[in-house]
Amino acid sequence: MKRIKAFAHASSANLGPGFDIMGLALSAFGDIVELEEDPFTSKISIFSNNLPLEIENNTAGLAIKKVLESKKIRMGLKLKITKGVPVGMGLGSSGASAAAAVTAINELLGLELSLHEMINFAMQGETAAAGEPHADNVAPSLIGGLVALTSIDPMDFIILKLNPDISIKLILPDVKIKNKTIIARSVVPEEIKMRDHVKNAMNILGLINSFEFGNIGKLKKHMVDQIVELKRSSIYPFLGEIRNISQKYEDVSIALSGAGPSIIVFHNIGHEPSDFINEALDIFNLQGIKCQIVKSEVGGGSRVIED
């Protein structure tokens, strides 16, 4: 019986003003999905610790189901998920599983899916975690690097340039919120004022330019979101204080990573943000929150791996 393993990196979505359209693959963490044909059934059996085992509630299982339905394939599969991406931390955990799953089924069945198709299927898998499809995590996990979505139907994207002088740190507070992604998406306003839309559009353009040329001061200016991240501050009382601290440091730019609670920190190589990190840790300590600091490189795309 044929068996395939696939790997996909974590990701950080939104990056300030880029809600649901921009994401960055992170090398710090990754998920492994293993698929094996099961000739004794026509169902997908899921094996994983601490993850939903029902297909409709599991992003990897649902993504694979969508692929099989689309291709009108009926077969049995054993699906094993080994989590490396911390769950519920805003690091694209569900997206990494979905991306690895689509990569695995594509290889197992020799489907030769395009990246656009793979993103679409993985995005449908995200419905299991978020309640609705979104691709800003699965796209960078599948493609690697810094990715922006330019269309959902039909699916399309661009790969953005990220200056190699930019370095990444992740602040991982020990904060667990049940159904966090659904809650975080529920506070997103359905309507916004035109001036807020214009400001966010300007910030997205400035963000892209700043990433390309490695200008942290300019990145700091544009990595601001007064629409979604502002609303999510009510979920994370520490976020406003951490952002206020970051304003003192011209060589540090931060954003809530995805739906949080993790915070992504950008700085130039050779200019470690030690003072900022120490002040941020003091805030968490005062609130009785344990915290971990992790360095990350830019992650590559999903891939098939050997045993």
Token code pair at residue 44: 């997908």
The string of pLDDT tens digits covering residues 192-218 is 999 999 999 999 999 999 999 999 999
Token code pair at residue 296: 């990350």
- Helices 93-109 and 115-125 cross at an angle (nearest 10°) of 130
Q: Which fold has domain 3-161+298-305?
A: Ribosomal Protein S5; domain 2 (3.30.230)
Sign of CA dihedral 283, 25, 138, 87: negative
- Does residue 176 or residue 125 have the better pLDDT? 125
Domain with CATH 3.30.70.890 in the chain: 166-296
Domain with CATH 3.30.230.10 in the chain: 3-161+298-305
- Does residue 131 or residue 63 have the better pLDDT? 63
For residue 223, the tally of other CB atoms under 10 A from its CB is 25
The string of pLDDT tens digits covering residues 249-302 is 999 999 999 989 999 999 999 899 999 999 999 999 999 999 999 999 999 999
User: Is-contact 170 257, C-beta < 8 A?
Assistant: yes
- 244/242 Cα distance (integer angstroms): 5
pLDDT band at 1 (very low <50, low <70, confident <90, very high): low
Does CATH place domain 166-296 in 1.10.3720.10? no
Is the pTM higher than 0.85? The answer reads yes
The string of pLDDT tens digits covering residues 14-51 is 999 999 999 999 999 999 999 999 988 889 999 998 88
Q: In what order do the strands lie in the sheet with 166-173?
A: 253-256, 263-268, 166-173, 291-296
- Helices 93-109 and 59-70 cross at an angle (nearest 10°) of 40
- 96/306 Cα distance (integer angstroms): 18
